[in-house]
Amino acid sequence: MTAAEAPYEIPADVSAALDPHERRLVLDRRGSTVWDVETERGRCAVKLGYPTAPHAWTALAPAREGVVLRQLGRGEVSYGDWEHGTWNVQPWHQGISLYDRWRPHRAEGASSEPGLADALSCARAVAALHATGWVHGDVQPAHLIIGAGGTALIDLALAHGGEVPAAYDFRYRGCLVHYESPEISRSVLETGAATPSTASDVYALGASLFISATGLRHVAYPDDASRAEQRQAIADGPHRPVEVPGVLGGLIEATLSPRPADRPTGAEVCAELSGGR
Ligand SMILES: Nc1ncnc2c1ncn2[C@@H]1O[C@H](COP(=O)(O)OP(=O)(O)OP(=O)(O)O)[C@@H](O)[C@H]1O
Ligand SMILES: [Mg+2]
């Protein structure tokens, strides 16, 4: 297998079962190809995982996510193996990501502040997952899809909270560093792995709200810094000053507390945001 073969087509047996009317390539990078597919039975996302040179686990991610989605009862979900790794099919969530939704507020000379309703909707998605006993492990603005009926927290490939068959499981080695909490960064630097928690999800929610509102990462580090240097900057702190006004700013500050125990819970974030409206 070489990266030159990607993007991969939907495997023949998966495609035969879906019988798509239409399909659109959403993304193809870092060991993952995602298709948006229209079928007789509705719209769905088809995710194909394959190994990359630095990461073998990306091949297992779709099946692992399929296991999690099934346990969470997230609609009609299927998963399995294909030539280069694993795949899943899951319901498509119509909406716009938090990052895209707040783009107008980041524009030069923007005159309005991001809405608390969007922040609350995202916080509710995180709190609702936590209420089931699961943690997400990869909260980021692209995984918060704001739709008409609320926010969907997608990409549960790294979630923890239930049993995952050994054949599809892999160690948690941190998330996208732009949303990683200091304790996760520290653990990944020291041991190569970490344990995601509700508190690290809350931190990632705060970093997601912060970057979506301002365009700034939670901690300042050069674009060309290595992953390890980025993690060291996060572990050392401090995080950037949060120059976001009002309730939202105060809340982001609290979620970015260096000590996990000092952060509000997802439910407390929701309470604060609904009280401040
Ligand atoms: N169920 C879904 N509903 C709506 N959009 C989805 C869904 N699944 C994936 N997407 C879209 O595809 C993108 C990539 O999906 P996802 O994050 O699950 O894959 P990934 O392989 O983890 O990619 P990345 O490496 O960027 O995290 C999402 O940001 C979103 O735009
Ligand atoms: Mg993702």
Is 70 exceeded by the pLDDT of residue 2?
Answer: no
Q: Do 209 and 170 touch, CB atoms closer than 8 A?
A: no
pLDDT at 7: 87
Q: For 95, which DSSP code?
A: S
Indicate if ligand 1 lies below 6 Å from the C-beta of 34: yes
Is 70 exceeded by the pLDDT of residue 228?
Answer: yes
Measured from the CA of 62, which atom of ligand 1 is nearest?
A: 21
pLDDT at 1: 46
Tens-digit pLDDT profile for residues 121-151:
999 999 999 999 999 999 999 999 999 999 9
Q: Do 67 and 23 touch, CB atoms closer than 8 A?
A: no
Q: What is the mean pLDDT of residues 188-193?
A: 98
Return the amino acid letter for 36.
D
The kind and range of the H/E element at 38 are strand 32-39
Model confidence at 107, pLDDT cuts 50, 70, 90, reads confident
d(CA 149, CA 200): 26
Return the amino acid letter for 58.
T
Tens-digit pLDDT profile for residues 78-88:
999 999 999 99
pLDDT at 54: 85
Q: What is the mean pLDDT of residues 196-212?
A: 98
Is 90 exceeded by the pLDDT of residue 53?
Answer: no
Q: How far is the CA of 141 from the centre of ligand 1 (A)?
A: 11
Model confidence at 3, pLDDT cuts 50, 70, 90, reads low
- Strand 32-39 and strand 42-49: pairing? antiparallel
Structure-block tokens of residue 17: 């079962």
Model confidence at 61, pLDDT cuts 50, 70, 90, reads very high
- In testing the pocket of ligand 1, which one of 77, 154, 176, 179 has its CB within 8 Å of the most ligand atoms? 154
Residue 156's nearest CA partner among 181, 183, 184, 175 is 175
| Alpha helix stretches (DSSP H) within 144-197 | 182-191
Q: What is the mean pLDDT of the chain?
A: 95
Q: Which has more pLDDT, 98 or 3?
A: 98
Measured from the CA of 58, which atom of ligand 1 is nearest?
A: 21
Domains annotated for the chain, with CATH where assigned, are 3-91 (3.30.200), 96-275 (1.10.510.10)
Model confidence at 4, pLDDT cuts 50, 70, 90, reads low
Residue 2's nearest CA partner among 31, 41, 34 is 31
pLDDT at 276: 47
pLDDT at 5: 67
Q: How far is the CA of 200 from the centre of ligand 1 (A)?
A: 20
The residue whose CA has the least distance to atom 10 of ligand 1 is 45
- In testing the pocket of ligand 1, which one of 28, 34, 87 has its CB within 8 Å of the most ligand atoms? 34
